[in-house]
């Protein structure tokens, strides 16, 4: 299986636990840059995929993140 096919199969689900959760996609390559962002309100869900262009996803705000590796929650303050 090629590296692209392995990466394209990786999805995460982000559920906002408060209004204003920000999800930021970061590029792959020599320089890491922001390439996309979304805002979610409480209860909204976004399904994100790692791709040939997306190497990392940053989540700001209270959220639950579900992956094939397990579930996580951002720190609650």
Q: What is the pLDDT of residues 12-65, one digit of tens each?
A: 999 999 999 999 988 877 777 778 899 999 999 999 888 877 788 899 999 999
What is the DSSP-derived secondary structure letter of residue 8?
H
More confident residue, 51 or 67: 67
More confident residue, 19 or 1: 19
What is the DSSP-derived secondary structure letter of residue 68?
T
For the chain, what are the domain ranges? 3-71
For 26-39, letters b (16+ CB in 10 Å) and e give eebeeeeeeeeeee
CATH 2.60.40.50 fits domain 3-71: yes
What is the token pair recorded at 23? 């999800």
pTM of the predicted model as reported, rounded to 2 decimal places: 0.78
* Residue that is written with structure tokens 């995460």 in the block: 12
Nearest of 75, 19, 66 to residue 57 by alpha carbon: 66
Residue 76: its pLDDT value, please? 63
């Amino acid at each position: 299986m090629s590296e692209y096919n392995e990466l394209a199969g990786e999805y995460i689900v982000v559920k906002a636990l408060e209004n204003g959760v920000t999800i930021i996609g970061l590029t792959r390559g020599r320089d890491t840059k922001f390439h996309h962002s979304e805002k979610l309100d409480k209860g909204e869900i976004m399904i994100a995929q790692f791709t040939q262009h997306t190497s990392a996803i940053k989540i700001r705000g209270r959220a639950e993140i579900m992956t094939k590796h397990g579930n996580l929650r951002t720190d609650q303050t």
